């Protein structure tokens, strides 16, 4: 029987999820809550105007429309227990419960989990006030990274060069209250140096199955300069992954699988493992309890297998037997943002869009369709994904297609996937 799916979220990641799910002949219809201007016109898909935080309205919709499977995109509803709420009502849902989503929503919890299970991660200590945290940075010249415990829209991590910068960061965290309850604790950890790999791993509670490797670009400007953002671009596969694939499997994925099997919580869903290669060894930098954005936009166009089968296998505990195949090609995603990004700015600017050339997929993020006029609503607006036999080819496809998109203030990085096959450090 064909299935009806509800996708929760409104970003580029959710558009990519809808796009891939719509290709399955097992999927009849998709609803995206609240969706964006791209999901509004994606095949089989329609938007419904329910915010991601309104669990009761989402559950009522899922019941009324006999939704077979709900897929949760963003971190906040997972941290707030949306999966527990759906399950309590007997509704089928893809994503970790609140207790497992804590691997993302509390950095202290994630670090303690890694430490207890001897998973490779940077040395650290936890503090709940400013003075002892600063004293720790002064005493340990390796302690140069400060992270607020809770979710902070990607802005709660300070990678510092000096004690003075640590002092500044700690003042900002404890002195201004800008992170609210997220900053009741901080992790102070060792600064590691090396290239990063995003590894998205499917989990059914027993088995971990890594998806293809990818890499994202967090800083706003070329050459990894400027403020941190939600992500300015991505590519897949990450060439740096290949030489470390075996080490990552042996030293990260295999022990993580055992640790999760023994944990007091069950992790079902997508576990994003941020890996950094330091001194030739893989370390876990962070976990996210959901698909990465914008990594998902370049990952899913490379997935040959049926995504709805993989989601159902995670829920049913049959992931070990599921088929997951990838095309040999490469994908590069360039994010087009509002001029003011990452600061907020004008909303409702008209977008002109010409048809995309072959081997290019356009995923929307901050767009809305207002009576046939597509509008930019700030932040990350569109994701252009180029596909090609090589990363260079895929990047040219994406960059060449930017000429078909226009809106006032449109901005993007010009160095996404440039030279990565030659120069492996990020
Ligand atoms: P996180 O949210 O923990 O992934 O941190 C965001 C970014 O900060 C990472 O992608 C890294 O680029 C950087 N980062 C985090 N932890 C460290 C660390 N221990 N050493 C160096 N860079 C780090
Ligand atoms: N691209 C990193 C994230 O989704 O958090």
Ligand 2 centre and the CA of 237: distance in Å?
Answer: 16
Ligand 1 centre and the CA of 202: distance in Å?
Answer: 22
Per residue in 361-386, pLDDT (tens digit) is: 999 999 999 998 999 999 999 999 99
Q: Does 85 reside within a domain?
A: yes
Boundary-marking domain end, from 131, 163, 190:
190
| Domain extent for 391 | 330-422
Nearest ligand, CA 155: 1
In the predicted model, is pLDDT for residue 64 greater than 90? yes
Q: Does 108 reside within a domain?
A: no
Q: Does 116 reside within a domain?
A: no
Q: What is the mean pLDDT of residues 255-264?
A: 98
Strands 27-34 and 3-9: parallel
CATH, residue 67: 3.40.50.20
Q: H or E segment at 323? A: none
Query: 351 and 326 in contact (C-beta within 8 Å)?
Result: no
Q: How many CB atoms sit inside 10 A of residue 128's CB?
A: 13
Position 157 scores a pLDDT of 92
Pick the closest to residue 75 from 14, 145, 21 (CA basis). 14
Q: What is the pTM of this model?
A: 0.96
Mean pLDDT of the chain: 96
The rounded percent of the chain whose pLDDT value lies above 90 is: 92
* Residue with more model confidence, 123 or 227: 123
Q: Scanning the structure block, which residue is given the tokens 């671009």?
A: 233
Position 422 scores a pLDDT of 56
Q: Domain check: are 305 and 200 in the same one?
A: yes
Q: Under DSSP, is residue 408 helix (H, G, I), strand (E, B) or coil? A: coil
Position 183 scores a pLDDT of 83
Give strand pairing partners of 287: 273
Q: What is the mean pLDDT of residues 248-273?
A: 98
Q: Domain check: are 272 and 221 in the same one?
A: yes
Q: Domain check: are 74 and 165 in the same one?
A: no
Q: Domain check: are 181 and 261 in the same one?
A: no
Per residue in 4-56, pLDDT (tens digit) is: 999 999 999 999 999 999 999 999 999 999 999 999 999 999 999 999 999 99
Assign 426 a pLDDT band (cuts: 50, 70, 90).
very low
One-character DSSP codes across 121-170: B--EEEESSHHHHHHHHHH-TTEEEEEESS--TT--EEE-SSHHHHHHHH
Q: Domain check: are 35 and 85 in the same one?
A: yes
Ligand 2 centre and the CA of 73: distance in Å?
Answer: 12
Q: Does 62 reside within a domain?
A: yes
The rounded percent of the chain whose pLDDT value lies above 70 is: 99
DSSP letter, residue 39: G
CA distance 144 to 137: 7
Q: Domain check: are 352 and 252 in the same one?
A: no
- Residue-level length of the chain: 426
Could you identify the atom of ligand 2 that is nearest to the CA of residue 294?
A: 1
Number of domains the chain is built from: 4
CA distances from 161 to 129, 149, 190 (A): 21, 21, 11
**What's the N-to-C CA distance of the chain in angstroms?**
46
Per residue in 146-195, pLDDT (tens digit) is: 999 999 877 889 999 999 999 999 999 998 888 888 888 999 999 999 99
Per residue in 318-347, pLDDT (tens digit) is: 999 999 999 999 999 999 999 999 998 889
Residue 183: φ, ψ to 5°: -105, 25
Q: Does 101 reside within a domain?
A: no
For a substitution probing ligand 1, which of 160, 285, 426 has the most ligand atoms within 8 Å of its CB? 285
One-character DSSP codes across 102-122: HHHH-HHHHHHHHHHTT--B-
Q: Domain check: are 280 and 377 in the same one?
A: no
Q: Domain check: are 378 and 280 in the same one?
A: no
In the predicted model, is pLDDT for residue 91 greater than 90? yes
């Amino acid at each position: 029987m064909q299935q009806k799916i509800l996708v929760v979220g409104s970003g580029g990641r959710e558009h990519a999820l809808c796009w891939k799910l719509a290709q399955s002949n097992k999927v009849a219809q998709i609803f995206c809550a609240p969706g964006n201007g791209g999901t509004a016109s994606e095949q089989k898909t329609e938007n419904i105007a329910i915010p991601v935080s309104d669990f009761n309205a989402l559950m009522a919709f899922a019941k009324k429309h006999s939704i077979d499977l709900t897929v949760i995109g963003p971190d906040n509803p997972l941290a707030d227990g949306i999966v527990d709420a759906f399950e309590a009502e007997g509704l089928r849902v893809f994503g970790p419960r609140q207790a497992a989503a804590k691997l993302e929503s509390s950095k202290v919890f994630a670090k303690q989990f890694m430490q207890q299970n001897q998973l490779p991660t940077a040395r650290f200590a936890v503090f709940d006030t400013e003075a002892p945290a600063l004293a720790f940075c002064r005493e340990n010249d390796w302690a140069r990274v400060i992270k607020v415990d809770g979710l902070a829209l990607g802005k709660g991590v300070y990678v510092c060069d000096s004690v003075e910068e640590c002092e500044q960061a700690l003042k900002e965290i404890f002195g201004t209250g800008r992170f609210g309850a997220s900053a009741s604790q901080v992790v102070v950890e060792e600064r590691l140096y090396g290239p990063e790999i995003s590894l998205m791993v499917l989990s059914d509670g027993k088995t971990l199955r890594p998806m293809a490797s990818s890499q994202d670009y967090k800083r706003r400007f070329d050459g990894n300069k400027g403020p941190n953002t939600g992500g300015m671009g991505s590519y897949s596969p990450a060439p740096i992954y290949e030489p470390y694939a075996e080490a990552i499997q042996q030293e990260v994925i295999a022990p993580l699988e055992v640790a999760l099997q023994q944990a007091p919580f069950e992790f079902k869903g997508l576990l994003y493992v941020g890996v950094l290669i330091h001194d030739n060894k893989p370390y876990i930098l962070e976990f996210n309890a959901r698909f990465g954005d914008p990594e998902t936009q370049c990952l899913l166009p490379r997935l040959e297998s049926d995504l709805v089968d993989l989601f159902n296998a995670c829920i049913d505990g049959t992931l070990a037997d599921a088929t997951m195949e990838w095309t040999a090609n490469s994908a590069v995603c360039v994010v087009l943002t509002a001029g003011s990004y990452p600061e907020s700015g004008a909303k409702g600017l008209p977008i002109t869009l010409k048809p995309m050339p072959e081997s290019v997929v356009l995923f929307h993020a901050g767009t809305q369709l207002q009576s046939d006029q597509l509008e930019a609503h700030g932040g990350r607006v569109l994701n252009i994904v180029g596909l090609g036999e090589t990363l260079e080819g895929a990047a040219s496809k994406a960059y060449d297609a930017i000429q078909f998109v226009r809106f006032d203030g449109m901005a993007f990085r010009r160095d996404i996937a440039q030279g990565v096959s030659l120069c492996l450090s990020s």
